[in-house]
């Protein structure tokens, strides 16, 4: 397992650009809300810790991870953001639905990155069970939302180069 010995919340603030002048969109899936809210809180805390201003962080909720692509597209179309973070959680079930949702969200977010001049950060957990999701959304492996926020700040800085 890739995160078995890694805490996703660890970052060196001295190596991260100051986020005070960046504008962030965060699209959050309401499905598996206990997980996605943990991811959102991790992202928000990291953004604020790195200098982001609350009034420059915009949140949009969507029903599930499949809908993240459209939500991110709406954020892109605002035209005033530096980066968007897509937050979702898909947990393996007994059917192939997991595969279809994971593939659609991944490909859709990739397509937005290619089509638009705006980074979209992929923060969608695709875990085998609820415990793995808990461990990565504020549990024993830290918070993937924190990691996504740091990537968002870095990509916003690259966008402005």
Cα 85 to Cα 146: distance, rounded to the nearest angstrom: 11
Closest residue by Cα to residue 136 from 88, 66, 69 = 88
The sign of the dihedral angle between the CA atoms of 136, 139, 142, 146 is positive
> Of these residues, 6, 13, 20, 97, which one is catalytic?
97
Q: Report how far apart the first and last C-alpha atoms of the chain are (Å, whole number).
A: 35
**Residue 152 in contact with residue 117, Cβ under 8 Å?**
no
Tokens of 28: 């959050």
Closest residue by Cα to residue 123 from 138, 104, 137 = 137
Distances (CA, A) of 112 to 66, 115, 145: 14, 5, 20
Catalytic status, residue 141: no
Residues identified as active-site: 97
């Amino acid at each position: 397992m890739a995160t078995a010995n890694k805490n996703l919340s660890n970052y060196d603030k001295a190596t991260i650009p100051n986020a005070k002048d960046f504008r962030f969109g965060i699209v959050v899936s309401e499905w598996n809300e206990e997980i996605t809210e943990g991811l959102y809180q991790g992202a928000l805390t990291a953004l604020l810790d790195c200098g982001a201003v609350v009034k420059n962080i915009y949140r949009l909720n969507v029903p599930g991870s499949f809908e993240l692509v459209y939500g991110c597209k709406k954020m892109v179309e605002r035209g005033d953001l530096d980066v968007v973070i897509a937050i979702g959680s898909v947990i393996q079930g007994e059917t192939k639905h997991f595969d279809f949702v994971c593939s659609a969200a991944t490909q859709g977010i990739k397509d937005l990155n290619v089509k638009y001049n705006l980074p979209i950060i992929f923060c969608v957990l695709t875990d085998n069970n609820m415990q793995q999701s808990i461990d990565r959304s504020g549990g024993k492996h830290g918070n993937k939302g924190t990691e996504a926020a740091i990537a968002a700040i870095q990509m916003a800085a690259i966008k402005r180069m």
